[in-house]
Chain A
Amino acid sequence: MKRKTIHFYAVSILLLLLLCPVTATAQTVKGRVYSLEKGKKLPLPGASVYFANETGGAVTDGRGAFQIEKQAEGGKYLIAGLAGFTSDSVWVTKAQSNLEFVLVEDIELQEVVISKARQGTVLSRLTIGKTELITSTGMAKMACCNLSESFENSATVTVGFTDAVSGTKQVQLLGLPGIYSQLLAENVPNMRGLLSPFGWGYIPGSWMESIQVSKGASSVVNGYESVAGQINMELKKPNYTEPLFINAYSDLLGRYEANVTSATQVAKNLWTGLLLHGSAETGTHDYNGDTFSDMPESKLVNLYNRWFYLNESGIQSRTGIRFLYDNKEGGQHDAHFNNDDDHNHYQTHLNNRSFSVENKTGLTVGSREGQSLGIISSFTSSEVNLNYGKKSFRGTQNSFYGNAIFTSGFNDAHRYTAGVSFVYDDYGTDFLDSLSFNLTPRTPLNRREAVSGIFAEYTFSIKDRLDIILGLREDYNSRYGWLFTPRANLRYSIIEELVFRASAGKGYRSPNVIVDNIGLLATSRKFNLDEINGLNIESAWNYGGNISAYIPVWDKQILTISADYFHTQFQNQAVIDMERDHNSVYFYNHAGTSSTDVWQVDFSLTPFKGFDLFAAFRYNDTKITYSAENGQRYVMEKPLISRYRGLVNLAYATPLRKWVFDFTAQINGPSRIPGLNGYDSQVRYSEQFPIYFAQVTKNTKRFDIYAGSENILDFKQTNPILNADNPFGRDFDSSLVWGPVVGRKIYAGIRWRIGKLP
């Protein structure tokens, strides 16, 4: 039916071919165009090569080769380009026979291959470890103000409040608090130490391109931290986003948020981007009538300036400068009090600040294909100030992280990575409790760690069939001594439709028990600090396996079923004992067992174009051993860890995603509530509760408008605060939170892209 167009096309090509040889003064320029992928030079077919201001041009063949005639006399720029790559040019004066172009992709390819970018959550078939990828489409399904909220429709990660007053959210992965997962921003460790319990709220949703959640033992390259898994986020790249992006959001509970991201090319090889976030919670509502604000008033400012340098010889360098300011004021609602009885007025005040600079530089080394050297360095200075009623925790942290990674291989099947790292952490913290029955004077808790490490990782691959990664690292920690970290991953594709994965490995983490359990500050419990300085580094083994099946069903659709099991066994854990006495909390090195077993099944299917269905169920079985003063041991379920979670997400998009409808239903299982009568208290469980989410999005080329609701049925934990009427009494406790503290949220927002779209 399209004869005319074909003719047009054929004639144009003929003309092009004819034109070249007729020019008498033509000089022939021959050469090849390559692409640079993970440091490897690969021939690039289909690239166009042409002289500036001249008509005609050439297209590279299957081997990346081209031949072009230079018509005019004198020097001219020869340009090679292809969509998706940064064009390059060379000054040419005469005939040449082996000109070489190496084009670099507009952005580095992510390690995870996005197989179906439009589904929100993708279980990647190709990654070696079990990886769940949350794409920007997935993040757009919800209000997603920050990283922690991005997991609201994931079964892998649970999000919850740490206490009922401070508004701080914490995630759980594999039945363990988020502090046991290593958080990476573009494979650089992020939000370590004092910021780790807060960090999940400090990464704005609209800064992120995608999130990869890897459960279980992961690579040793990024250090010995990471017990339960790794969460890596890719942030917006200055060289591959729209010049200006604006997001504004507001909800009926009084939250306002604005995000602006910009990207500019400042020179041939240099790009810069600015990521800005500002948000405020202004509603001091108290819908449950316990005199406490359900959410604190807060202000969060987050600035990030990124620089990206790239040149043809394969040097890439990223630099970032980040500043963060967080202020939250909560507690008892002013409306219930006169100004003069401030004394009995319970208030919380959180003030955190952080400044960081980081650089990541990669270059190809030597002539061997795929050989490269990467150097990462970052410096962070953070300050945490927490004043909860009459308890106060202050802390500063200065940290340096340096890592040099050399990657090479013998051939495609055998590759290796080796390197050295150095981490320095200096913590200056103190704790004060002026409650009359506790009276803990300001007690300094300082700690310094210098960690030098070497590591090596070997990868054996049989293309698309088998991958084995063996990693080893040995670190010397100035405080905790030698730490040996072995890890292994296996991926075996039995047939294309069936993939089996297994992993095993060790991880460590040095605890900051007070800030890690910030919810405890919002109680009247007495902190027994004696053993804090004697706490060992936490260490644990993690073993796991996964089977993913990709079953073809009707009409070329694929049903994905994935099942996994992970076991974490602590060798040492800093036990936070709230069970011994309901007016105290004890911190000590664990004895006995502490473990979690997690089973999860995921189903995903696109029954017809535009409609995606995702369902998942996870079951946790956790154990922890508490030791009484007399040495007797009590094995219990870990407190406030939901036993199971079920989730169904239905998404329907009209053609071209002009309208998108999302609905998520979650069912959250009961969790054990810490006993109030010592170790022999009767075991109590919270109720199971469902949460529903819905959102409608209207997309256009430049604007997306979205509106939705979270917690549609307005479910709230009843009485999240014990003894709210007497916050300075012995039995006040707001840390026993297992469900939502705030109820239904109705929100709307807009995303606006300005300038040339990438």
Chain B
Amino acid sequence: MKMKQFFGCLMAMSMLVSPGVAQDKKEGKKKKTEEVTFVVNLFCEKCKAKIERHISWEKGVKDLTVDLDKKTVTIQYDPSKTNEQKLKEAIENLDYTCGIDEEID
């Protein structure tokens, strides 16, 4: 009895979560975003956390991925609100060196 209720609740919860996810993806496609990858002199978890803590809240930033192994920061942004130069400056303001990843270009 209790077990059934438990799994019932789990199912209900997963269903609640999934439509939210689907919707989100759709929205992402509709809006025009651009992507840029910077090579940044990152070498520790703390640097990664610092980038995430600060750059996430820069104007126009839609999503962000930091890859420590490749030392890259990939940013999805809204070109009507920001541009590569501004994002690069934002990273440099955190005392990192920052260049555009040519390989990915």
**Does the CB pair A692–B9 fall under 8 Å?**
yes
Contact string against A for B residues 50-78, beta-carbon threshold 8 Å, 1 for contact and 0 otherwise = 10011011000111100000000000100
Roughly how many angstroms separate A608 CA and B2 CA in the complex, as a whole number? 31
Interface presence of B102 (CB below 8 A): yes
Interface size class of A (residues with CB under 8 A): 35 or more
Q: List chain B residues, Cβ under 8 A from A663.
A: 13, 17
Using A83-B50, A656-B61, A656-B63 as known contacts, say yes or no to A661 and B6 having CB atoms under 8 A apart. Answer: no
Interface presence of A400 (CB below 8 A): no
**Does the CB pair A652–B21 fall under 8 Å?**
yes
Majority-rule SS of B interface residues: helix
Interface presence of A688 (CB below 8 A): yes
Contact string against A for B residues 12-30, beta-carbon threshold 8 Å, 1 for contact and 0 otherwise = 0110010011001000100
**Does the CB pair B10–A105 fall under 8 Å?**
no
Roughly how many angstroms separate A9 CA and B89 CA in the complex, as a whole number? 12
Roughly how many angstroms separate A82 CA and B94 CA in the complex, as a whole number? 10
**Does the CB pair B54–A82 fall under 8 Å?**
no
Interface presence of A690 (CB below 8 A): yes
Using A692-B9, A757-B53 as known contacts, say yes or no to A46 and B17 having CB atoms under 8 A apart. Answer: no
**Does the CB pair B88–A105 fall under 8 Å?**
no
Smallest distance from the beta carbon of A536 to chain B beta carbons, Å? 42
Using A106-B46, A117-B45 as known contacts, say yes or no to A654 and B24 having CB atoms under 8 A apart. Answer: yes
Contact string against B for A residues 352-391, beta-carbon threshold 8 Å, 1 for contact and 0 otherwise = 0000000000000000000000000000000000000000
Q: List chain A residues, Cβ under 8 A from B102.
A: 6
**Does the CB pair B47–A84 fall under 8 Å?**
yes
Roughly how many angstroms separate A105 CA and B3 CA in the complex, as a whole number? 50
Q: List chain A residues, Cβ under 8 A from B80.
A: none
Give the residue of B6, B94, B100 whose beta carbon is less than 8 angstroms from that of A6: B100
Q: List chain A residues, Cβ under 8 A from B17.
A: 611, 650, 652, 661, 663
Q: List chain A residues, Cβ under 8 A from B85.
A: 5
**Does the CB pair B84–A5 fall under 8 Å?**
yes
**Does the CB pair A84–B54 fall under 8 Å?**
no
Q: List chain A residues, Cβ under 8 A from B76.
A: 655
Q: List chain B residues, Cβ under 8 A from A484.
A: none
Roughly how many angstroms separate A117 CA and B24 CA in the complex, as a whole number? 23
Smallest distance from the beta carbon of A8 to chain B beta carbons, Å? 8
**Does the CB pair A657–B43 fall under 8 Å?**
no
Contact string against B for A residues 90-126, beta-carbon threshold 8 Å, 1 for contact and 0 otherwise = 0000000000000001110100011001000000000
Q: List chain B residues, Cβ under 8 A from A713.
A: 9
Q: List chain A residues, Cβ under 8 A from B82.
A: none
**Does the CB pair B46–A107 fall under 8 Å?**
yes
Q: List chain B residues, Cβ under 8 A from A657.
A: 56
Q: List chain B residues, Cβ under 8 A from A758.
A: 50, 53
Roughly how many angstroms separate A690 CA and B76 CA in the complex, as a whole number? 41
Q: List chain A residues, Cβ under 8 A from B45.
A: 113-114, 117
**Does the CB pair B105–A83 fall under 8 Å?**
no
Which residue of A is nearest B46, CB measured? A84
**Does the CB pair B6–A83 fall under 8 Å?**
no
Interface presence of A81 (CB below 8 A): yes
**Does the CB pair A83–B47 fall under 8 Å?**
yes
Using A5-B85, A107-B46 as known contacts, say yes or no to A81 and B6 having CB atoms under 8 A apart. Answer: no
Interface presence of A468 (CB below 8 A): no
Closest 9 CB pairs of A and B: A701-B57, A655-B63, A83-B95, A46-B41, A656-B56, A690-B6, A663-B13, A2-B100, A84-B46
